[in-house]
Structure 1
Amino acid sequence: MNAAHLNTEVAFSFQLGASALLGVIHESTTPSDLGLLTIVAGGPQYRGGCGRQLVALGRRLSQEGVHVMRFDHRGLGDSEGEFQGFEALHDDIASAIAEFRRRVPGLARIILWGGCDAASAALINAHRFPEVVSVVAANPWVSSERTAARVQQKHYLSRLRQWSFWRKLLRMEYDIPSYLRSAAARLRNRIGRRRDGTDARQSTSSAQAHYIDRMLLGLQQFGGSVLFLMSGSSLISREFDELVAADREWNKTCNGAGRERLEIPGADQTFSSLQARQGMLDAASMWAGKVKVS
């Protein structure tokens, strides 16, 4: 970390009930009323993000007139408490926003940033906070058995048209027995559900159906702008596109005023390549610039 970063990055802890949460603020190098709050995706991640992408994001935007706060919500990284899951992050986000505003006088507008299930949490909760004027939702998580099967089918059909697939097949690089066992298991489950009188939508867990409905409702109630930042090579991204294309309400909501979709070709779910990471940072810079002057 160089001297410039040392001057603008401040680490601290703040309380959420009995739990101490860890946060870092990248202070803007110029006066600004705009901030960006990052939400960490579930699983073994923390405030730095995959490959420290959120660190790079904070340093980039703070040099462009946007304050950035990264934090570990309960149960992740260095924060105390039990992991709540992305469906139960309202209190964590609320506490982080309050701490962000307390530590940055004059902060009036906030962009929520999240990827995967953190994007889902942002879409569920953004409308509840008057300070939040925009959301960047990177590859939102809307997985269900139906959308996953549809996307996988399209993916494998496209692979049949690629010479690389046939080359690997001829070299016996695929685990065919394992694939056949998996396909057989899925078929048995589908037959079993039909015998029980259930369909794919009903077999989706109530938690899944509930969070997808809450995401849609949150989007419909949110008056700010939304950027859907999508990865060209992510099946999770394709699942979201499948849902938007197949559902009239989702389609209407995601294509309304203030909603934009930007795809980074060839990027995987976590923007892990140097090219994809740069594309992600450029997209964040572009969007924050639009929000800043709006």
Structure 2
Amino acid sequence: MNDAQSPTRESAFAFDCKGSSLIGFLHGGDEHCDVGVLTIVPGGPQYRIGVGRQLLRLARRLVADGIHVMRFDQRGLGDSEGDFKGFQHTRDDIEAAIAEFKIRAPAVKRIILWGGCDAASAAILHAHKLPDVVCIIAGNPFVGSSTSPLKAQQMHYLARIRQKSFWKKLFKLEYKLSDYASGAIKKVRQRLKPKKPETAPGSQAQAGARTDFSADLLTGLKMFNGKILFLMGDRFLLSTEFDRLVSSSPEWVAAYNKPGNERLDIKGGDQVFSNQDAQERMFELAGEWIRKSYLT
């Protein structure tokens, strides 16, 4: 469904969270459908419509399948009152939103949390404490700031040169070596400039986060009894940090590979799937996965 259209079963409202008024938006699905998707907004300068209207477009795509969707602004974000204290402290916001969702759409019994970056991390951290949540859809989860963009890029290329496809393309002269040389020269020039403190992409979104919260993420993965769909963009270099963390111990490997968990790598996808083709592919694959898992 085109996001320029105006479906009739959409409504805006305010609801309370610990004394702060939050703004929500309901996309009403089929009255017989008991599945609802609650979208979580990452921190920083974002609000319930999402980057490039992505969350609005997502909602209208899912409603076409009869699924109820609620978008909302957490405390201190968008049009909601209060202070944003970081994704690690959003349990009350999510809990209040779920309660309001069930009031506004009484048929909803099973909640799917949808979030990207630190919103995905928030879902993983808190879902096991929320009994109505049966699924998390996590796009490029944020796992910490210990790896700089440069380090992540190095890790990405080290992994790439171990792949047969890289060498096949190299020997077939499918790479534009002049472009790589030009890029290398630019990087050398940048390295010679006075250094500034490094910040990871979306660092404003992670304001207030502890430097290392990986133990809490692991606990969230281990204790959550529902399914998790990981949506990973192959153009987001810091997703390498997520893969590194997942492979860091047998405990992490076991938690990540729990029955029901699945991963979809979206070709051309960056941190927020801003490329139109990647975004459409992400909507298509995630929608198909939800239908297969909860509507059949």
Please classify the TM superposition score into its range, dividing by the shorter chain length: 0.7 to 0.9
Counterpart check, 1:63 vs 2:79: no
State the Cα distance separating 1:154 from its structure 2 match: 2.4
User: Which whole-Å CA distance do the structure 2 matches of 1:221 and 1:171 have between them?
Assistant: 45
State the Cα distance separating 1:239 from its structure 2 match: 1.4
Other-structure match for 2:260: 258
**Uncovered stretches (5+) of structure 1, i.e. residues with no partner:** 187-204
Structure 1 residues 169 and 183, CA gap change in structure 2 (3 angstroms): farther
User: Which whole-Å CA distance do the structure 1 matches of 2:96 and 2:109 have between them?
Assistant: 15
User: Which whole-Å CA distance do the structure 1 matches of 2:237 and 2:3 have between them?
Assistant: 38
State the Cα distance separating 1:30 from its structure 2 match: 4.9
Other-structure match for 1:27: 28
String of CA shifts for 1:84-105, please: whole Å, max 9, x gaps: 2101000000000000001111
State the Cα distance separating 1:166 from its structure 2 match: 4.2
User: Which whole-Å CA distance do the structure 1 matches of 2:5 and 2:26 have between them?
Assistant: 14
Other-structure match for 1:13: 14
Give the AA of the match of 2:155: K
The within-5 A match list for 1:36-115 is 36-115=37-116
Structure 1 residues 180 and 42, CA gap change in structure 2 (3 angstroms): same
Other-structure match for 2:231: 229
Q: Is the 8 A contact 1:120 1:141 kept in 2?
A: yes
State the Cα distance separating 1:248 from its structure 2 match: 2.0
Other-structure match for 1:189: none
Structure 1 residues 170 and 96, CA gap change in structure 2 (3 angstroms): closer
Between 1:105-114 and 1:153-162, the stretch displaced more is 153-162
User: Which whole-Å CA distance do the structure 2 matches of 1:147 and 1:184 have between them?
Assistant: 12
Normalized per residue, the structure richer in helix is: 1
Give the AA of the match of 1:169: A
Structure 1 residues 148 and 168, CA gap change in structure 2 (3 angstroms): closer
Which residue of 201, 208, 212 maps to 2:211?
208
String of CA shifts for 1:206-233, please: whole Å, max 9, x gaps: 9232x22111101100100000111011
User: Which whole-Å CA distance do the structure 1 matches of 2:42 and 2:6 have between them?
Assistant: 25
Scaled by the length of structure 2, what TM-score is found? 0.84
State the Cα distance separating 1:273 from its structure 2 match: 1.1
Q: Is the 8 A contact 2:235 2:269 kept in 1?
A: yes
State the Cα distance separating 1:250 from its structure 2 match: 1.4
Structure 1 residues 185 and 115, CA gap change in structure 2 (3 angstroms): closer
User: Which whole-Å CA distance do the structure 2 matches of 1:245 and 1:147 have between them?
Assistant: 19
User: Which whole-Å CA distance do the structure 2 matches of 1:73 and 1:119 have between them?
Assistant: 14
User: Which whole-Å CA distance do the structure 1 matches of 2:104 and 2:235 have between them?
Assistant: 39
Q: Is the 8 A contact 2:136 2:229 kept in 1?
A: yes
Q: Is the 8 A contact 2:139 2:230 kept in 1?
A: yes
> What is the aligned length?
275
Counterpart check, 1:131 vs 2:143: no
Aligned-partner SS, 2:11? strand
Give the AA of the match of 2:237: L
Between 1:242-251 and 1:33-42, the stretch displaced more is 242-251
Q: Is the 8 A contact 2:39 2:115 kept in 1?
A: yes
Other-structure match for 1:191: none
User: Which whole-Å CA distance do the structure 2 matches of 1:175 and 1:3 have between them?
Assistant: 42
Structure 1 residues 206 and 70, CA gap change in structure 2 (3 angstroms): closer
Q: CA RMSD in A?
A: 2.8
Structure 1 residues 163 and 2, CA gap change in structure 2 (3 angstroms): closer
State the Cα distance separating 1:78 from its structure 2 match: 0.7
Which residue of 173, 191, 194 maps to 1:179?
191
Other-structure match for 2:220: 218
Between 1:220-229 and 1:242-251, the stretch displaced more is 242-251
Scaled by the length of structure 1, what TM-score is found? 0.84
Q: Is the 8 A contact 1:140 1:236 kept in 2?
A: no
Aligned-partner SS, 1:5? coil
State the Cα distance separating 1:173 from its structure 2 match: 6.4
Structure 1 residues 240 and 165, CA gap change in structure 2 (3 angstroms): farther
State the Cα distance separating 1:180 from its structure 2 match: 4.0
Give the AA of the match of 1:178: Q
State the Cα distance separating 1:156 from its structure 2 match: 4.8
User: Which whole-Å CA distance do the structure 1 matches of 2:4 and 2:196 have between them?
Assistant: 59
